[in-house]
Structure 1
Amino acid sequence: MKLGHFLTFGAPGLIAYLLFVLVPIAMTISASFTNRNPANPPTKWVGFRNYTRLFSDTDFTGALKNTVIVTVIVTVAANVLGLLIAQLLDRRGWLYNALRSVFFTPVVLSSVVVSVIWQAVLQDDGLLNSALKSLGWHHPPGWLSDPDLALYSVAFIITWQMLGFCVVVYLAGLAGVPADLHEAASLDGAGRIARFRNVTWPMLAPALTINTVMLLITGFKAYDQIQVITNGGPGNGTTATVAFQVVQTTFTGNHIGYGAAMATTMLIIIAAISVVALRFLQRREVTL
């Protein structure tokens, strides 16, 4: 009977996971040990040559640096702002319910849609610079055309889209904080900051774990925003991330074997960082 239940309910999901996740991963790893290039046959086994080439490739190391910068900004900024906004919205009333929906709306939008909207706002003759010029700023920044600003503009856009997710998770965490703990702390003379540090913050440990791991993964796999908004520019790879570089190498350059090595390396990095962050944050939950 148990086997029958598994075949009825579990097998379809397991088969789908096998076909659409595990098999593509295995094919990518296998291709990473070859020189596969449809424009330059035949395909040969090259061992670890693609991997040894990676970290002397300035395009890849530059993309990895950009990816780390974006990931750090998104993880820190979305967590901090999400927690602050959740504290402000942790109240009853139709206005606060409406504001929660407003903040969560970007999360359900396609990254391409979000990118197109912000591109219209941040381009040199976009809505933001037009507004700044009307206020007397005759030479506003090139948010997307200045190599010193473009990467941070993209990081801001990703943060903006993920902010609502963080807010909702922190609101769920705040709803689970017992009111009697705050009352007891107040009776003991604890102020608002002390109550947050000693009561609220420890209770939000699971919410911090969820948000941090999700934001780390989101930052490391950033692609849509780069492709739509900057196409890796301005200049040569100024905002290119590892995911963007994988697509360019594999599909534009036809270097499938080398692109597969990039993708496999990114998978290993994301998995390692996620596991370490998860272990550290879960250990913190137990300690608190």
Structure 2
Amino acid sequence: MVLAWTSLIGMDEHSNSKTPVTLLGLGNMGTALARAWLAAGHPLTVWNRTPERAEPLVREGARAAATPAEAVASAAGPVVLCLLDDASVGETLDGADLRGKEVVNLTTSTPAQSRERARWAEERGARALSGGIMAVPPMIGRPETGGYVLYSGDRALFERHRETLAAPAGTRFVGEDPGHAALHDIALLSAMTGMFAGMTHAFALVAPEKDLDRSGFAALLAEWLGAMSGAAHGIAAQLESGDYTQGVASSLAMMAAADDTLLTTARDQSVDPRLLVPYMELMRRRVAQGHGAEGLAGVVGLLSGE
């Protein structure tokens, strides 16, 4: 502990003007966040269930708290949580006095859990902000990688600490509903999962071709997916207008008709099409309901129970 305080005393006056941060949870992401705040000159107090995880950070200038309650009690700035799951948040803060504290929960949660946890913190006298980290640990502290953190909940709390929160990664406030950061997080990750499924199928198609340039194909694939990502704006416009035929270039009927070629090629290449078939079946169902002129927003409507 003496080493930690000595390190803090040794900081220059500029770094001491930075907002102190208290961080609970030092897994890979938590450790990356800690190092980013230290590098930016923020006085940092850390706690981890396994104390040994804090030792390297103490050598780098952090102060280690013996318990979460001690860490929270000494907090003069945001108390950031980066733990395993929502249950861990409750267990970690059990017994801590949250009155007057500012809690920033970056633990991966569902929207419902985020809303309930924010309410839970506010009932205990804290102000609450929820977050969703759109980055992996190597992207933290490296703005050129494009990583960012989604925030929602107490807007005034976010604005007060915007600069501090931006030290590890970019910040994007997505609304005052505490569940919206988690909702955006899960929606974006869901889109990424679907994209990865398509990439996996694409590479499986070309894999048997021994004379095909895999690197060259990867470049084409990345370029194509980037070009097609603009379709998101068209879907949003259709959903906002309620007219799912608005601006349609390739209708569901056209895309569904082309599915047979995709499936035949998969069969010819000895590739299991199970990554594509569920989506194709949804398009065909929407067409069968008489909505073949719609764009992809029609499938959104189908999934939403329209």
The TM tier, using the shorter chain, reads under 0.3
TM-score, normalised on structure 1?
0.26
Higher relative contact order (CA 8 A, sep 6+): 1
- The structure with the greater share of residues assigned to strand is 2
Which is greater in Rg?
Answer: 2
